[in-house]
């Protein structure tokens, strides 16, 4: 059994900054989910442009709520951020090529999610090892 290296002041500050970022990103995704559940614009028209209708908009809203909650669970935060990277990559592509919308917001969400996933990469590796039975 290996022990974790001692924490330095810099790593403690980075951990605190990462938690602040996780809380902010979770808040963003919760607000985004509310917009999807209520059919607020531009959410409704974007999903209409995709052609999958309300069921898909609600599914994405559920995924955003689940991911936002998981961002606040230490063991799941990195995996949730990694899932949001994929979700936001899809959102950027949809905005750019289907709905012709503004890609800045999903792109920023993608980048912030990537920062969290990178910062929690050891937790993701531990979770993967536990799930894979290693």
Task: Residue 79: name the closest of 24, 16, 125 by CA.
Answer: 125
Average pLDDT in the 69-91 region? 96
Q: Is residue 81 a contact partner of residue 113, using CB atoms and an 8 Å limit?
A: yes
Task: Output the pLDDT for position 99.
Answer: 82
User: Where along the chain do its domains lie?
Assistant: 10-132
- Record the pTM: 0.86
- Within 10 A of 100 (CB to CB), how many other CB atoms are there? 11
- Of the candidates 132, 20, 64, the one whose C-alpha atom is nearest the C-alpha of residue 124 is 132
pLDDT tens, 35-63? Answer: 999 988 888 888 888 888 889 999 999 99
């Amino acid at each position: 059994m290996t022990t974790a290296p001692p924490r330095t002041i810099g790593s403690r500050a980075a951990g605190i900054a990462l938690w602040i970022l996780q809380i902010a990103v979770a808040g963003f995704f919760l607000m985004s989910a509310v917009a999807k559940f209520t059919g607020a614009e531009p959410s409704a028209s974007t999903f209409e442009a995709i052609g999958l209708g309300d069921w898909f908009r609600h599914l994405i809203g559920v995924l955003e709520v689940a991911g936002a909650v998981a961002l606040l669970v230490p063991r799941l935060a990195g995996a949730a951020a990694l899932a949001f990277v994929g979700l936001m990559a899809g959102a950027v592509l949809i905005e750019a090529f289907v709905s012709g919308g503004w890609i800045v917001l999903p792109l920023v969400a993608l980048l912030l999610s990537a920062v969290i996933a990178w910062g929690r990469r050891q937790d993701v590796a531990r979770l993967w090892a536990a799930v894979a039975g290693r």
